[in-house]
Amino acid sequence: MSVVSGDFDTAVVGRSFRGDPVTVTAERIAAYAAATNERSAAAVAGALAPPAFSYTALRPPLRAALRATTPLYDDLQGLHGEQDIRVLAPVTPGMALTPVIEVAGLRCRSTGVAVVLRAHVLAGDDPVSEQYTTIYFRGAALDESLGDEAPEHFLPADVAERPPDAVVVRHIDTDQPARYAEASGDLGAYHLDADEARRVGLPGIIVHGMCLMALAGGAVAEQGAAGGPTRLDRLAVRFARPVVPGQDLSTSIWKLDAGAGILRYGFESHDADGVTVLRHGRAEVRTA
């Protein structure tokens, strides 16, 4: 029997939602690379997908999982709070990606509720990525936290207090949201319709959070190791503020530690006014 706690159906915790296979083509990879201003030659040529590409396969089961969890999702009250991607295998043309999403947890926050979704993207029986998506519902109610939290990726306070080891600036094109929407399948109104965006209090069309994540991740990978984003093994961020297109995204990067062929970095990104828009960024880059 379904048990409702506040605005949420707690019976969905632990339930999985499987999506239909999505065939990867060189054209889809190249379009995604163009939509995220990717500079890796392999990605631009459509030969090897950037790390965040596999998220595009998650959208149908992600929507199904959220609709089963709370009616607040269809009321457009959910915010993409955090994303954590671990790359387990390269994604190349010819693969059929099958997304599987589990409602891992419903977690109380001081001002609302976070829905934690754990996802695996499979090529056949083999996972190519493990991901955690956290959707935050401000003002929502839940009697108590259930299930799991997403993995921690906080930037240590002592790191953020020292000057960054590098700062990389990437421009966000005025047509970036439209290009990303077409390449990713994320056709949310806030990214394409200025009037709809302003209706909910946004300044106008905003850039997709996952597009910002890809831009920042590419900057970190290029700075951290030869080979660029194709060497990223983990990319995690907290989405802090919306960003309008047509401005520069500045990413501050700190070296954290290294081990077993992996370099670990922390990063934060800021808009043209210096406002932090991506917080608690974490990247792990293979050195070879």
CA–CA distance, 204 with 122 (Å, rounded to integer): 36
Q: Is residue 286 classed exposed, middle or buried when 0-12, 13-18 and 19+ CB atoms within 10 A define those classes? A: middle
d(CA 254, CA 159): 7
CATH superfamily, with its number, for domain 1-151: Hotdog Thioesterase (3.10.129.10)
Q: Which residues of the chain have pLDDT under 50?
A: 1-4
For CATH 3.10.129.10, list the domain ranges present in the chain.
1-151, 153-288
State the pLDDT at residue 226.
58
What CA–CA distances, in Å, run from 47 to 26, 27, 69, 173, 213?
A: 6, 9, 37, 24, 21
What is the pLDDT, as a whole number, of residue 165? 94
What architecture is domain 153-288?
A: Roll (3.10)
> Tell me, what's the pLDDT at 189?
87
Continuous segment of H or E residues that includes residue 8: strand 8-9
CB 206, CB 247: distance < 8 Å: no
Q: Give the per-residue pLDDT at 225.
A: 61
For residues 77 and 73, give the distance between their C-alpha atoms in angstroms, rounded to a whole number: 6
Packing angle of the helix pair 209-224, 176-184 (nearest 10 deg): 90
Residue 227 has what pLDDT? 56
138 bridge partner residues: 112
